[in-house]
Copies of this chain bind each other. A is one copy, B any other.
Amino acid sequence: MNSLTDVLDGRWAGIRRDVRAQVAGTAQPDAYGLGREEHRAQVLDQLHELAATGRPHLGFPVAYGGKGDIGGTIVAFEMLGFGDLSLMVKAGVQWGLFGGAVELLGTREHHEKYLRSIMDLELPGCFAMTEYGHGSDVQNLRTTATYDPAAEEFVIHTPDASARKEYIGNAARDGRMAAVFAQLVTGGESRGVHAFLVPIRDDAGVAMPGVTIEDCGHKAGLNGVDNGRLTFDGVRVPRTALLNRYGDVAPDGTYASPIESDGRRFFTMLGTLVRGRVSVAGSAGSATKRALTIAVRYGDRRTQFERPGTDDEVVVLDYLGHQRKLLPALATTYALHFAQEELVTTLDELQRTEEPDERARRELESHAAGVKAVATWHATSTIQAAREACGGAGYLAENILPQLKADTDVFTTFEGDNTVLLQLVAKGLLTSYEQEVQDLSPLETARFVAEQVVDTVIERTSARKVIERIMDASPRRDDEDSLFDRAWQIAAFEDREEHVLDSLVKRLRKAGRDNGFEVFNSAQDHVLRAGRVHVDRIVLEAFVGAIDRCTDPGTKALLERVCDLYALANIEADRAWFLEHGRFTAQRAKAVVAAVNELCGELRPRARELVDAFAIPEQFLAAPIIAD
């Protein structure tokens, strides 16, 4: 029994094993070198095969043939991330975004009418939120849905080119219906962004009257997904096309919502996006693991240059420089894996709750945004490093890394631009999740902060009991060995988060009526950093929690070292901050660098074991450079 894999497989081990078993019996076609249309056709076929497995049904309500297993469905998406990422994204559009919008924003009528055919892929759909002129700023979308009480219809309209729906997955080729996000106007009054189900193609695949569909064409990667542009010219849909869970229009045009505040309603609706963000973070992790598995296996066999005084050539992973390219990234991948598991668990528990605690819901959204940002940037940099670590061979499509790089590249800017997401995290910290300020723009947050006494309290995650136990037991030494003391590492992360936030609050307090934007903007690097160090801390806590759950002593000891490498490499990269703020002496900072080198050497003989524990099906590792 490989118990490292057991720890990694965690709570949804069953689904992970099912997927592995199923993949083992199938051929996995390559995507590279295919023309765009061939690739799209291949992915659509794969999507139908996936629908037939029933796995996409997992997350949907039991009443409609699903299993209500939200966590399981996200883990299944994560496993899709080991294969062609076009399939993962197309599945995400169909079942996560389109299906999710119908389920979470719609009501019973919509569920009965559509959920089964969405699950079975009889009704391929789109999630039409982003516009050319408004990507991140969803609140200011400009497509309109104007209610006509005479006809009891909504008129969906694109006022100008910058309001066209842009980059919409499933739109260019396969989608029949779209969940279109638009400003609801009734009785001459705008009621904010709502979602509407709009047919975009008939059964023959021809665009519906008034709907113009363009193809976004070739992309850097993910060319198996048919992204397109949608323009609506006075397209009429019935009143019931409104997904009316959080806002409805009566036949006479009267608007009603269970949530009074426009802003809160908007954020509640957006909150349904959380599954998408968690899924992207998970798939980014899978792609990262696949790249590291290839690079570590290659580095473990590739030799270059003779060892002086011998005829033996040095295995490249024995070079410190090579270890530094891969091993801290591997440790971070472990850390993010456990943070992801934590996120999925919380999401699963929360979405099973009828009336979830508002604070817990906001915290989940914040963690999902933050982990998505950190995990996708980590994927981009790690896959890049893995490519470079394989030299020219890493540039050949047959060795998989080029497709991984190209496909994951957009993860940093879709499902929320990472920079905007980190800002969201910071905003949440600044306002301590107070409901009344959720409507504020990030810039208005500055003013809010200026007017409040904000306590910067480190809210520990679900690992808090473990953390407290570790902290209480620690003698809090400050000698060289203490670098490897978990309590010292945790204290360093917590102290950093608290101080970064505290000093940010002080800067933002200078904001007045007239200079709010300027004050906030001149501190934007500080704002983003506050989000970042918060995420780093919750990731470390998740790792610590996972180690605590591990019972096998050997596995536990190995994970402890991997966690040391994650924590110390993170501190090393940021040691300027610790020095600038009087947290480290010069000597201590140098000791951190030396400790990272030492850990690289110590973990090098375990590197192969650490990547093999990801248990990626060999079908997805068919790169000639690592073939026997």
Contacts and interface: CB of A to CB of B under 8 A. Distances in A.
Contacts of A166: 392
Interface stretch (A44-52, A128-136, A237-245): A128-136
Contact of A219 (B167, B402, B417): B402
Nearest to A135: B391
A534 B32 CA distance: 40
A77 to B, nearest CB: 20
Interface size class of A (residues with CB under 8 A): 35 or more
A137 B134 CA distance: 51
A178 B167 CA distance: 46
A398 B314 CA distance: 44
Nearest to A443: B308
Interface string A397-426: 110011001100110111001110001000
B306 A441 contact: yes
Interface stretch (A59-67, A150-158, A285-293, A581-589): A581-589
Interface in A541-591: 575-576, 579-582, 586, 589-590
A148 interface: no
A590 B579 contact: no
B135 A392 contact: yes
Interface in A312-337: 313-314, 318-321, 324
Nearest to A596: B525
A218 interface: yes
Interface string A125-146: 0000010011111001000000
Contacts of A320: 521-525
Nearest to A414: B392
A382 interface: no
B575 A33 contact: no
Given A305-B441, A308-B441, A576-B576, A324 B392 contact: no
Copies in the complex: 2
A517 interface: yes
A200 to B, nearest CB: 20
Contacts of A442: 305
Nearest to A441: B308
Contacts of A586: 579-582
Contacts of A218: 32-33, 396-398, 402
Contacts of A305: 136-137, 140, 441-443
A338 to B, nearest CB: 26
A517 B396 contact: no
Contacts of A395: 219-221, 409-410, 413
A356 interface: no
A392 B413 contact: yes
Secondary structure class of chain A's binding surface, majority of residues: helix
A306 B140 contact: yes
A380 interface: yes
Given A406-B406, A444-B308, A217 B318 contact: no
A388 interface: yes
B35 A35 contact: yes
Given A392-B413, A580-B579, A589-B576, A522 B597 contact: yes
A307 interface: yes
A216 B395 CA distance: 10
B524 A319 contact: yes
B405 A391 contact: no
A367 to B, nearest CB: 21
Kindly list the 9 A-B residue pairs having the minimum CB-CB distance in the complex, ordered from nearest.
Answer: A220-B402, A218-B397, A579-B579, A576-B576, A320-B524, A33-B218, A580-B586, A308-B443, A395-B410
22 contacts: A35-B35, A134-B304, A135-B392, A136-B391, A166-B392, A167-B392, A217-B396, A219-B397, A220-B401, A308-B444, A309-B516, A320-B524, A384-B409, A388-B418, A391-B413, A395-B409, A395-B410, A395-B413, A402-B406, A522-B597, A579-B586, A582-B586
Interface of A: 32-33, 35-36, 130, 133-137, 140, 166-167, 216-221, 303-309, 313-314, 318-321, 324, 380, 384, 387-388, 391-392, 394-398, 401-402, 405-406, 409-410, 412-414, 417-419, 423, 441-444, 447, 516-517, 521-525, 528, 575-576, 579-582, 586, 589-590, 593, 597, 601
